[in-house]
């Protein structure tokens, strides 16, 4: 049987819909809009299996903050009306036939990555619905990322045009440049242009660091900040080995409207 698993990055979708609402306290409208959005996604993607993955809104910043204390240190808390309405949103999605997976100790990104890679590695099709380019490091012939709001695929040509590197080099890219929105510092003075130049010449951070021909303009930066680069790469990479505790049959999609 051919499988098409659709994974919804739940809070990514919900936050975007909620931020566009004229009245942030009107959760009923957010529920209606997210439900309509999901119905459109289902019609477009025709999943055989589907699940929405949520970050637990009460958990801390997870294992990444343990190795990089600045990680998402200044992130804005979820708006109170939205937090209060999450259960109702999940119930509305459940009524559509979409089960939810709630993170517990790991970020939703890692749960999505683990599930997506596990299924894609079996030769089955996986679509992640998210605007988060971090998922693009997972890209493979059977794993794709859809930015529903921009109506585009975050595919290999997109990544090469956007960053100038291969999808498999994205964690190294962010290890060098950092990610300002998540307070990931990278190597000071190494921006996108330099990171592209480095990763065009070398496959990853370690190869560049060990290379005798690393340009002098980068050698001192690497020597002084290699530890930071390694940590930033680690927090930018996705875990793909989390114990999930369920199987595909549990999230099979039965569309009663068909």
Of the chain, the end-to-end C-alpha distance in Å amounts to: 19
Here the tokens at position 253 are: 């999609």
* 167 marked ligand binding residue: no
Tokens 């259960």 label which residue?
87
Relative to beta strand 152-153, strand 99-102 is unpaired
106-143: string of b/e by CB count within 10 Å (b at 16+)? bbbbbbbbbbbbbbbeeebbbbbbbbebbbbbbbeebb
179's enclosing H/E stretch is none
> Number of H helices and number of E strands within the chain?
10, 6
SS3 (DSSP) at 243: coil
143's enclosing H/E stretch is strand 143-147
* 176 marked ligand binding residue: yes
* 86 marked ligand binding residue: no
* 109 marked ligand binding residue: yes
Dist. CA 12–CA 121, nearest whole Å: 25
Of 4, 5, 12, 3, nearest in space to 148 by CA = 12
* 187 marked ligand binding residue: yes
Binding-site members are 109, 176, 185, 187, 190
Binding site listing for K(+)? 176, 185, 187, 190
Residue list, annotated binding site for Mg(2+):
109
């Amino acid at each position: 049987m051919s499988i098409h698993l659709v994974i919804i990055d739940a809070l990514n979708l919900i936050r975007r819909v909620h931020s566009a609402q004229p009245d942030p306290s009107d959760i009923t409208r957010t529920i209606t809009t997210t439900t309509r959005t999901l119905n459109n996604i289902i019609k477009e993607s025709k999943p055989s299996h589907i699940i929405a993955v949520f970050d637990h809104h009460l958990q801390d910043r997870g294992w990444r903050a343990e190795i990089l204390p600045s990680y998402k240190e200044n992130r804005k808390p979820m708006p109170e009306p939205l937090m209060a309405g999450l259960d109702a949103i999940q119930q509305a999605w459940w009524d559509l036939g979409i089960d939810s997976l709630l993170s517990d100790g790991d970020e939703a990104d890692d749960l999505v990555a683990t599930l997506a890679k596990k299924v894609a590695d079996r030769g089955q099709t996986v679509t992640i619905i998210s605007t988060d380019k971090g998922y693009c490091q997972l890209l493979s012939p059977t794993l794709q990322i859809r930015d529903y709001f921009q109506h585009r695929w975050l595919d290999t040509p997109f990544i090469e045009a956007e960053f100038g590197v291969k999808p498999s080099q994205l964690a190294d890219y962010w290890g060098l440049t950092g990610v300002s929105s998540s307070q990931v510092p990278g190597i000071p003075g190494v921006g996108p242009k330099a990171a592209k130049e480095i990763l065009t010449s070398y496959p990853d951070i370690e190869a560049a660091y060990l290379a005798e021909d690393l340009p002098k303009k980068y050698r001192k930066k690497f020597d002084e900040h290699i530890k930071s680069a390694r940590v930033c790469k680690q927090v930018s990479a996705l875990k793909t080995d989390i114990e999930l505790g369920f199987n595909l049959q549990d999230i099979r999609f039965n569309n009663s409207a068909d």
